[in-house]
Chain A
Amino acid sequence: MRWKDARSFILSRPGVLVGLTLLGLQLAAIMFAPFIAPFSPIDANPIDALQPPNAVHWLGTDELGMDIFSRIVFATRVNLLIGFTAVFGSIAIGVPIGVLIGYYRGWASTLAMRFFDFIQSFPVFVLGMAMVAVMGQEIWSVAIVLALLFVPMFARLVRAEVLSLRERPFIAAARCSGAGDGAIMFRHILPNAMTPVIVQVSISIGMAILLTAGLSFIGAGVRMPAPEWGLMVSSGAQQMILGIWWIALFPGIAIVLSVLSFALLADGARAFFDPRTRHGASGHA
């Protein structure tokens, strides 16, 4: 029943279909990268450097002669790994914190909020460099830096929702039915507070991809020759004024399509999980 619902919902929304298709391509790239990519993503080949798109190198090569198409395919693994780990890790930590500090408004919540202010007012790149200096220039440390940055964002988002939800009559009604604080927070309030979080997921994955690129650019992130979209864009940006456009353009398109797929999926997910819009939509279809 639920699956049938989902199928008719997807078919009635072209945006979701496009999002799913793009996500499917990305998953395929992650799983079958060695079979799809014609060249190694990390082996330099100076003889073939700076070739424009041609029959052999479909999307051209960069200044080290690495095949751009192959690097884009392999970079999907790195970028999505960092993005997903950072975003879902920060949701797992930030959302419960947000519920707690929204529901109990004592000195501890104030303290938590001031701590979040502190983290968020810290320059991203200084924090990034410090963290990476401590933990080493690994994919994981980039993911942890980003997760740390996103925790306050999700916690604040949820807290704001909880503040208004806790005054709603159905919460009073639940209390009258004998629900305790835990049940009210996590069974009543949380499901109603998730809508902005779901929307924020897509934005955050996009942000994660861009911040990863930024950190790579200042040398605090992933290092060459590891394939990473942002790193590819920043290295290609230097060549742009020389008329060598393909190095930056294609990974840029990959970023756009990846962010777009999550935006479309988040939009669809919000509509699907909100019982009001879902049934409204299917009722009129």
Chain B
Amino acid sequence: MGRPAMHRPRPGDTSERPLLDLDRVSVGFADGTTALRSVSCALRANEILGVVGETGAGKSLLARTIVDLLPEGGRIIGGDVRFDGRSIPAMHRKEKARLRGGAIALVGTNAKALLDPVTPVGKQIARVARAHQQIGQRAAYRAAVALLAEVGLTNPAARARAYPHELSGGMAQRVVIAMALIANPKILLADDATLGLDATVQAQVLDMLVRRSRERGLGVMLITHDLGIVRHYCDRVVVMRDGELIEQGEVATLLDRPVKEYSRTMIAAARARPALQAAAEPTAAAALVAVRDLTMHFTSAETAEPIRAVDGISFSIHRGQTLALVGESGSGKTTAGQCIVRLQTATNGRIFFGGDDVTYVPERAFRSMRRRIQMVFQEPYVALNPRWRVADLLAEPFRLLEPMTACERTARVARLLEAVHIDPAFAGRYPHELTAGEQKRIGIARALATDPEFIVFDEPTTALDIRVRAQIIDLIRDLQARRSLTALFITHDLNSVRSLAHEVAVMHLGKIIEHGPTHAIFEAPQHAYTRKLLAAELAIDGRLGH
């Protein structure tokens, strides 16, 4: 691990006045609900404070409370937020505006959505500078370009002229960070700033963010649900739940000796490293699924060369086995999965299912195969028709296959819901009334509805809270054991691979570069890229030796 030690020796003199002081802050909404309850914490200069908690814990709301940008209907109903000793809620509207992006900068999730799509990024950064400083247009632009170099973009002058859609997710996140730093803030609020980035990119961006903040002596609030990030980058940490501050303290102390029950369960869930899946017993039987030289090329109007999303991959999966296809975004793993379930038709190669070549079977004929091959989709919410109730969503796969009475259908839906540990009373709900974890379970239940022989899981554990992720992993393990499920796992979450897959295939730029039993890949990775992927995983137990 070549990562520099990110911790400064000790947080300095605690008697100094904190830069940001939250004093029993409560936030309520117009409908009478209370979203934050008497939260008190402080942020000092040159300190990195982690804020952790599950979705709905009020982490983001805390950041928005600080800059006084509460969602509609929300207001501070008690306590005070003080910046440098001055109450922010009491400030004049104009003064607050100067504060935002000036002394207090906010870096949000999904950087691409935060940037103006019709303005080059250099100009956007310069605008922020000019909003907060007496500086000419040219000088502001030069400062922006210089800062782009500082946040680690190669060829910053060219990048400054780029539009947001021309940047990758990691580059866009760096641009947003540059935008936050340009006005020389004193406080940086990073709200899940690296969510959705690949592990290796996430580590690079966070390294850079923390290094620049240390150089400038900023107070940083790092909001995340990843305890690995907290362990590696933060000095102190605050644990939140349901709008309340559960516990706060030094990172090492809190993570190793949490006082509160809630912190303990959360840390235990994050630390859980379930046993590796046993390696496959060699079987003489033919593989259930076999892929030979699968190729998927996309022709693009801009380049003569086709884009080789999947470039000749081969693997086979035996009955009862799980293969994990691991790689970063853009490696072609999702495309490969979609070819197998025939959402896309492969350019070349062969896909065998149960010994039959199904690669180019016409759509109509393939439909009868669908009940045997199912897929669990990546984003749980968008993969469920928003206007259908859970019962209809679950009944869809088998409704057309076999005639049954409404009563039988209800019973079957209830059984499916029980199989994924959801209260059968949820059958009448709409997808938007469910939590992300419940939506994911419904997605899994849908895939199980026809008792398929083979399931493709596309990123089953991404973007979920730690405890929910652990529950989903448990659920899938349970299904593997009870139904002797054959599965293809598409993911970049190595932790889930460890506990779910019998074999791992690492994909990089459309090719499988390493393939073997799970323990072999984890214990003795052969390829440099595999080692890089493994190293990017931030473990909650300090591996850096500080």
Contact = CB atoms under 8 A, between A and B. Distances in A.
Interface of A: 168-170, 172-180, 183, 188, 191-192, 275-276, 279, 284-285
B440 interface: no
23 contacts: A168-B382, A169-B378, A170-B383, A170-B385, A172-B338, A172-B377, A173-B375, A173-B377, A173-B384, A174-B396, A175-B343, A176-B343, A177-B446, A178-B397, A178-B400, A183-B400, A188-B385, A192-B386, A275-B386, A275-B432, A276-B430, A279-B432, A285-B31
A174 B385 contact: yes
Nearest to A192: B387
Contacts of A183: 400
Contact of B430 (A173, A174, A192, A275): A275
Given A191-B387, A192-B387, A279-B430, A176 B370 contact: yes
Nearest to A176: B375
B379 interface: yes
Interface in B473-493: none
B397 A177 contact: yes
A178 B387 contact: no
Nearest to A175: B343
Contacts of A177: 370, 374, 396-397, 446, 449-450
B127 interface: no
B383 A169 contact: yes
Nearest to B384: A170
Question: Closest 10 interchain pairs by CB?
Answer: A177-B397, A178-B370, A284-B31, A169-B383, A275-B430, A173-B383, A191-B387, A169-B382, A170-B385, A176-B375
A178 B446 CA distance: 11
Contacts of B31: 284-285
Nearest to A171: B385
Contact of B367 (A173, A178, A275, A284): A178
A180 B401 CA distance: 12
B371 interface: yes
Chain B, interface SS category? loop
Contacts of A169: 377-379, 382-383
Contacts of A279: 430, 432-433
B436 to A, nearest CB: 15
Interface residues of B, number: 31
Interface string B304-347: 00000000000000000000000000000000001001010000
Nearest to B364: A180
Nearest to B430: A275
A179 B399 CA distance: 10
A263 B159 CA distance: 48
Nearest to A165: B385
Contacts of A192: 385-387
Contacts of A191: 385, 387
A191 B389 CA distance: 13
Nearest to B397: A177
Contacts of B341: 176
Q: Which of B385, B397, B443 has the most CB of A within 10 A?
A: B385
Nearest to B374: A176
A228 B432 CA distance: 46
Interface string B255-281: 000000000000000000000000000
A180 B367 contact: yes
Interface string B361-379: 0000001001101110111
Interface string B151-177: 000000000000000000000000000
Contacts of B384: 170, 173
Contacts of B433: 279
Given A178-B450, A276-B432, A172 B383 contact: yes
A276 B431 CA distance: 9
Given A169-B382, A176-B375, A183-B400, A275 B387 contact: yes
